[in-house]
Structure 1
Amino acid sequence: MAANGVNGTNGFHGPVRPLRPGIFAPIPSFFLPETEDLDILSFETHVVRLANAGVNPLIAGSMGEAIHLSHTERTTLIHAARKALDASGHPTVPIIMGTGAGSTRETIQLCKEAAAAGADYTIVITSGYFAGALANNKRALKAFFVEVAEKSPLPVIIYNYPGASGGIDLDSDLITELAIECPNICGVKLTCGNVGKLTRIADTVSAAEFVASYPRKNLHAPFLVLGGFVDFLTPSLFANAHGAITGLGNVAPHALAKLFELSAAALKDPSLLPEAQRLQGIIARGDFTIAKASIAGTKYLLEKLYGYGGLPRKPLPPIDPDAAQTLWEHSHTQDLVRVERELSGKVKV
């Protein structure tokens, strides 16, 4: 189901898998316990599990430990995801690939490699290594995204996550300028959690005059405004946003897909809003608690729920055993797990 406010295009045909409003999950990269080599079987299993629930994959993002992956490993994951999706009856599910790197040059190279490997879209974060020089330099930040968008063969999503980029926080004015001036930029993920910023950007890009005056380069890539958390999904759709890219989608894909469906439908049928609000409350509490456990906590929960997950790559530590047990037993986690199992047809907690 599509949310409101998706803008238009100028008829350019590129990827055959449209970028649509909805829920996207940054897929963890799974590793074999003894060697830390990629665990492709678990990765493929998980990608298909989420696709079956209506959640789309983002590979090599923060949750995917992109900083720990080589160029070859990123390419391997794209090939594995595409093969698994096609074989499981999901040939139209798009793949978003994280292509952020330390330099503009390497970022562009990763965009080209992602396209060659079969990805459909890229998502790009600014490097935080030189954040001291970049954070307050709007000209440099803008130049980075302009050049990447111009040279990337795939449409680009802006990834605004101060926590992973040395505190660099793109404001709504800059993101709006990039949307206006760069037709190959197809959206933004706001992991800054700034609801006002999301509202301002969504209002601009969903306006009829924006759609008419600033069409996207690619027919299949409208400009989507996506939250980086799912704790405000319902109100965000009423502010013309388009969904979320969220780590919680790995743990509770059916619940998140249902929340998006209900919230989008409530735009036309207000009688559905109370149920959307009820589910939003459960998911918001789960997001608040589980997000604090980050990558290691998410992998622990996947191991607990599905039998795979494993550990992060070193030097990222595993979750402390006591913290893991506390996370699992927390009422916010258990309430979310209960809803997820009800919606997926598994009622035992």
Structure 2
Amino acid sequence: MSPVSRPLKPGIYAPIPTFFLPGSEDLDLQALEAHVVRVAQAGVSPLLAGTMGEALHLTHDERITVIKTARRALDAAGFETVPITVGTGTGSTRETIALCTEASEAGADYAIVITSGYFAGVLANNRKAVKAFYEEVSEKSPIPVVIYNYPGASGGIDLDSDLITELATECPNLAGVKLTCGNVGKLTRICATVSQPSFATSYPRRNPDAPFLVLGGFTDFILSAAYVNGHGAITGLANVSPFTIAKLFELSEASLKDSSLLPEAQRVQGIVACADFTIAKAGIAGTKALLEKLYGYGGNPRKPLPPIEPEDAAALWEHPHTQELVELERALGGKFS
């Protein structure tokens, strides 16, 4: 039987939280199964063991368990063609490659790799070393690799548009970049090269199912990104309101061909941008608290990350930005338990 094709497509990807049982902090696989199916039902693809998934707090064996559990849940629910992307970035090049291999063997389709930031004092000013990291990882990974540019979690290292574009043209197993730097100008400059129709023929990918995508790390510029030929976003807010974020992407793309849809796209983008600004400040614990309120699962982060204070969770839930997003999600078909 031939393997199932799961292309990496423009759209919305949700960095799935890793859920833990109260007290023991063991993996809560039942909550994970429910959540990956919930986001898939909205047309959102899961990303496991990323920042939101507390990858730093997971053992290698736990990562494998998370991947296998998510794949089984998606397949059982009829989402066999939904791809799974997994965070595999860690301290050394060697271990990062090992994690890519383990993820592939467990059922992952794509990897996303953050720049190693522990020795940022050395690497931040050594462009050659940073470039060599992504060259070697992508060359040796058995699955396509997405660059994860997140200065806040990599010691302040911030890849510029020239370096990302170079990597895109020179490394055929790179499948995109996530810009959690939030730099729309950088996104525009990268898209000016990689989103041209000639790019795919001039710089073919090793895996034809994995074109080079330029993805935002927040939801507040999905509409703007569409107009410079961006490809969507990987965003934590898609855990809370997957139908809304998927709808925003759909409207943004459709408005390129039908300008009458632009006012509605702008309206939804405004609601989403305000909610993202408010909810992102509450971090992983805040997102989990909202999931608990909406869906009945969420729990706390793994220590030493602290849970959100009860009064802060109540304020986050009651905030007008949150409530407007929840109302829109409900109107678009999101079901709350």
Q: Structure 1 residue 325: deviation in Å?
A: 1.2
- 1:325 to 2:314 alignment: yes
User: 1:10 maps to which residue?
Assistant: none
- 1:261 to 2:263 alignment: no
Q: Can you give the 5+ residue segments of structure 2 that lack an aligned partner in the other structure?
A: none
- 1:132 to 2:118 alignment: no
Q: Given residue 258 of structure 2, which amino acid in structure 1 is its aligned partner?
A: D
User: 1:94 maps to which residue?
Assistant: 83
- 1:275 to 2:264 alignment: yes
Q: Structure 1 residue 232: deviation in Å?
A: 0.6
Q: Deviation per CA, 1:70-101: give whole Å up to 9, x if none.
A: 00000001100100000001000000010001
* RCO higher in structure (CA 8 A, sep ≥6): 1
Q: Deviation per CA, 1:43-83: give whole Å up to 9, x if none.
A: 00000000001110000000000000000000001100100
Tell me how far apart the structure 1 counterparts of residues 145 and 32 of structure 2 sit (CA, whole Å). 24
User: 2:235 maps to which residue?
Assistant: 246
Q: Given residue 53 of structure 1, which amino acid in structure 2 is its aligned partner?
A: A
- 3-state SS in 2 of match to 1:208: coil
- 1:109 to 2:98 alignment: yes
Tell me how far apart the structure 2 counterparts of residues 320 and 15 of structure 1 sit (CA, whole Å). 44
TM-score by length of 1: 0.94
User: 2:300 maps to which residue?
Assistant: 311
Tell me how far apart the structure 2 counterparts of residues 14 and 259 of structure 1 sit (CA, whole Å). 32
Given candidates 70, 81, 99, the residue that maps to 1:81 is 70
Q: Structure 1 residue 202: deviation in Å?
A: 1.0
- 3-state SS in 1 of match to 2:198: helix
Alpha-carbon RMSD across the aligned residues, in angstroms, is 1.4
Given candidates 96, 108, 111, the residue that maps to 1:122 is 111
Contact 2:200 2:211 in 1 (8 A): no
- 1:198 to 2:171 alignment: no
User: 1:6 maps to which residue?
Assistant: none
Q: Given residue 267 of structure 1, which amino acid in structure 2 is its aligned partner?
A: L
TM-score by length of 2: 0.98
Tell me how far apart the structure 2 counterparts of residues 250 and 195 of structure 1 sit (CA, whole Å). 23
Q: Structure 1 residue 14: deviation in Å?
A: 8.6
Q: Deviation per CA, 1:207-258: give whole Å up to 9, x if none.
A: 1332221111111000000000010101101110000000000000000011
Q: Deviation per CA, 1:168-206: give whole Å up to 9, x if none.
A: 100000000000100000000000000000000011101
- 1:210 to 2:202 alignment: no
Given candidates 14, 27, 32, the residue that maps to 2:16 is 27
- 3-state SS in 1 of match to 2:287: helix
Contact 1:15 1:120 in 2 (8 A): no
Tell me how far apart the structure 2 counterparts of residues 20 and 315 of structure 1 sit (CA, whole Å). 36
Q: Given residue 65 of structure 1, which amino acid in structure 2 is its aligned partner?
A: E
Tell me how far apart the structure 2 counterparts of residues 232 and 124 of structure 1 sit (CA, whole Å). 22
Given candidates 24, 36, 39, the residue that maps to 1:50 is 39
Given candidates 40, 53, 71, the residue that maps to 2:29 is 40
Tell me how far apart the structure 2 counterparts of residues 210 and 342 of structure 1 sit (CA, whole Å). 39
Q: Structure 1 residue 344: deviation in Å?
A: 1.4
Query: How many residues are paired up?
Result: 336
Identity in percent = 71
- 3-state SS in 2 of match to 1:328: helix
Given candidates 123, 137, 142, the residue that maps to 1:148 is 137
Tell me how far apart the structure 1 counterparts of residues 185 and 159 of structure 2 sit (CA, whole Å). 13
- 3-state SS in 1 of match to 2:326: helix
Q: Given residue 84 of structure 1, which amino acid in structure 2 is its aligned partner?
A: A
- 1:170 to 2:159 alignment: yes
Q: Can you give the 5+ residue segments of structure 1 that lack an aligned partner in the other structure?
A: 1-12
